[in-house]
């Protein structure tokens, strides 16, 4: 628990939230500024800032809840699709520094654009693969 963490306060009930689901290790509630209706946040009850400092078993418990809720939310809201996302660090759009997964109902005509990819230069993809796989050695 972190005293000044918004999501820790929500989990403790010190700040109200619209709870969707709770189990021994995770808590899920409606995002207050939804991209679409039914946009839900899933958080671990343990405070961890982002994916890097979240133990694997805690992260897995979050993903288990995401997996359970994704189809329930799609069914209930009647969306055409669901995006799952986790923003890590400010550069990636993280605003609340308690790990959370977004479950976002989507419609093909909801106006939210998919990201645009950029092609690799010749040979670049092999270099990037080598740089990343080096981390496992």
28: enclosing H helix or E strand: strand 26-30
The interface partner of residue 29, options being ligand 5GP, Zn ion, none and the CB cut-off 5 to 8 Å by kind, is ligand 5GP
Mark residues 85-104: x for contact with Zn ion by CB under 5 A, - for none: -------------x------
* 93 or 123: CB nearest ligand 5GP: 93
Q: Among all chains, which residue has been given the structure tokens 């050695």?
A: 137
Q: Which two tokens stand for residue 134?
A: 């080096």
15-32 core/surface letters (b: 16 or more CB in 10 A; e: else): eebeebeeeeebbbbebe
User: Minimum Å distance from CB 79 to Zn ion?
Assistant: 28
Question: 41 and 101 in contact (C-beta within 8 Å)?
Answer: yes
Asked if 5 is part of the footprint of Zn ion (rule: CB under 5 A), the reply reads yes
Q: Which residues contact 60 (CB under 8 A, 6 or more apart)?
A: none
Q: Is 112 a catalytic residue?
A: no
* 70 or 125: CB nearest ligand 5GP: 70
* 29 or 48: CB nearest ligand 5GP: 29
The interface partner of residue 98, options being Zn ion, ligand 5GP, none and the CB cut-off 5 to 8 Å by kind, is Zn ion
């Amino acid at each position: 628990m972190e005293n000044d963490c918004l999501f820790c306060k929500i989990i403790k009930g010190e700040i109200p939230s619209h709870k969707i689901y709770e189990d021994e290790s995770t808590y899920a509630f409606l995002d207050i500024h939804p991209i679409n209706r039914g946009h839900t946040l899933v958080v671990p009850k343990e405070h961890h800032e982002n994916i890097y400092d979240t133990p694997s078993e805690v992260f897995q418990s979050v993903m288990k809840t995401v997996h359970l809720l994704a189809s329930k939310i799609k069914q209930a809201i009647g969306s055409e699709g669901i995006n799952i996302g986790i923003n890590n660090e400010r550069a990636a759009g993280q605003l609340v520094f308690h790990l959370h997964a977004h479950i976002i109902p989507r419609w093909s005509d909801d106006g939210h654009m998919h990201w645009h990819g950029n092609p690799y230069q010749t040979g670049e993809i092999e270099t990037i693969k080598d740089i990343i796989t080096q981390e496992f050695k």
